[in-house]
Chain A
Amino acid sequence: MKDTSLWTLGVIAGLTLVTVVTRSFFFISSKPWTLPRWAQRGMQYAPIAALAAVIAPEIVMTQGHFIGTWQDARLFAAAAGVLWFFWRKGAGQAVLGTIVVGMAVYLPLHIGLGW
């Protein structure tokens, strides 16, 4: 097993602080206060943007290059997961369903066909 990296532990400490600050944001200070309007509106769009910016390269790129083939298990798995989510209209455990359906498509293509 590789050695524990101090850098990784530092990142973990930083992310812990991010968890505390974001979850307590408006009740850290005892004084009532509000964010400027643009920041309040921006919060509508930032979370999904952050997720998409992390996800997209993990699905359509390999080693920093755009994949030149459609024979990639990740494409089909992500598409199947998204279709499942919107078919179920996000009800109940739809996120769990997205993972299960996506992996059910991913594993046979990846392990079986080597995509």
Chain B
Amino acid sequence: MMAVAPGLSAWGLMTGVAMVKSGMNAVESVAMTLLVFAGSSQLAAIPLIASGAPILVILSTGFCVNLRFVVFSAHLRPYLMHLPRPVRLLVGYLTVDLSYVMFTRRFSAPPQDAVQKQAQLAYLAGGCVSNWLSWQGASLVGIALAHSVPMQWGLGFAGILALVGVACSLASSRLRLASAGIAAAAAVAAFAMPFKLGIVVGIAAAVGLCLMVEEYTPASRRVS
């Protein structure tokens, strides 16, 4: 898990800078990094908070960006169901993309006995703590340093570039690429809608059209 710490730190650092550069003060930025603990949903929320979008639009955007975790949680369920619910929720909250990928790569099957349960939980907990520390440490440094960089440099744009990178990593099929294109075009076209609803319209149009196209694609040609 330590192998991923440098990348995670760089991303945390930049998220810290992006929060402050969007106009959030130190208390808000620190609270956001310590509590929300989700880089891409934080970065997606930053421009929406800055423009005063309604809370429901911000939360639904964060939910959609986070939907990949819903998929991960289905995969992790058999590994974690032996734990009491509060512990499950804590483990879920702390398990970011990288912890999930490393954990499921190392343990291809859910635990069978008490020894395996303990070993798997120890590995996951260690990874989560190490990821949490590198992310939070770097974010706090970013928040502290952001004030010494002039606003005109536009460093906050690094946050948008991070989202561009994450979006590229999700573009694993033609329909997903189409989804991105439709959502982007619809969000720009519907930008004048009140309450930042253009974003919700963009997501709904993209998902709806992709599901319709999928419906009319022969099963043999489907790639998920």
Are the CB atoms of B183 and A27 closer together than 8 Å?
no
Residues of A within 8 A of B89 (CB): 20, 24, 28
Residues of B within 8 A of A16 (CB): 35-37
**B-contacting residues, A1-58, CB 8 Å:** 1-5, 7-16, 18-28, 30, 38, 41-58
Closest A residue to B76 using CB positions:
A27
Are the CB atoms of B36 and A15 closer together than 8 Å?
yes
Are the CB atoms of A24 and B93 closer together than 8 Å?
yes
Q: How far is the CB of B159 from chain A (nearest CB, A)?
A: 9
Are the CB atoms of A27 and B92 closer together than 8 Å?
yes
Determine whether B210 belongs to the interface, using a CB cutoff of 8 Å to chain A: yes
Q: How far is the CA of A73 from the CA of B152 in the complex (A)?
A: 13
- A43, A51, A55, A60: the one within 8 Å of B70 (CB): A43
- B93, B179, B184: the one within 8 Å of A19 (CB): B93
**A-contacting residues, B33-59, CB 8 Å:** 35-38, 40-42, 44-45, 47-49, 55, 58-59
Are the CB atoms of A46 and B203 closer together than 8 Å?
yes
Interface centre among A19, A23, A99 (most CB of B within 10 A): A23
Residues of A within 8 A of B185 (CB): 56
Residues of B within 8 A of A60 (CB): 188
Q: How far is the CB of B220 from chain A (nearest CB, A)?
A: 17
Are the CB atoms of A15 and B188 closer together than 8 Å?
no
Q: How far is the CA of A23 from the CA of B80 in the complex (A)?
A: 13
Residues of A within 8 A of B165 (CB): 81, 85, 94-99
Determine chain B's interface SS by DSSP, over half rule: helix
Contacts A23-B73, A23-B92, A106-B154 given; indicate if A50 touches B188 (C-beta within 8 A). no
Instruction: Sample 18 A-B pairs with CB under 8 A, ordered by A number.
Output: A7-B55, A11-B45, A12-B31, A12-B35, A14-B58, A15-B32, A16-B36, A19-B62, A22-B63, A22-B67, A43-B68, A45-B206, A48-B177, A51-B65, A51-B180, A53-B186, A95-B162, A111-B154
**A-B pairs with lowest CB-CB distance, top 6:** A24-B92, A53-B202, A98-B165, A95-B165, A50-B64, A56-B184
Using CB atoms and an 8 Å cutoff, list the residues of chain B in contact with chain A: 6-7, 10-11, 14, 23-28, 31-32, 35-38, 40-42, 44-45, 47-49, 55, 58-59, 61-74, 76-77, 80-81, 85, 88-89, 91-93, 95, 152-155, 157-158, 160-171, 173, 175-177, 179-188, 191-192, 198-199, 202-203, 206-207, 210-211, 214, 224
Supplied contacts A8-B24, A23-B93, A50-B67, 15 more A-B pairs, CB within 8 Å: A3-B25, A12-B32, A19-B37, A20-B89, A22-B69, A27-B80, A27-B81, A48-B179, A50-B44, A50-B61, A53-B187, A54-B65, A55-B164, A94-B165, A107-B153
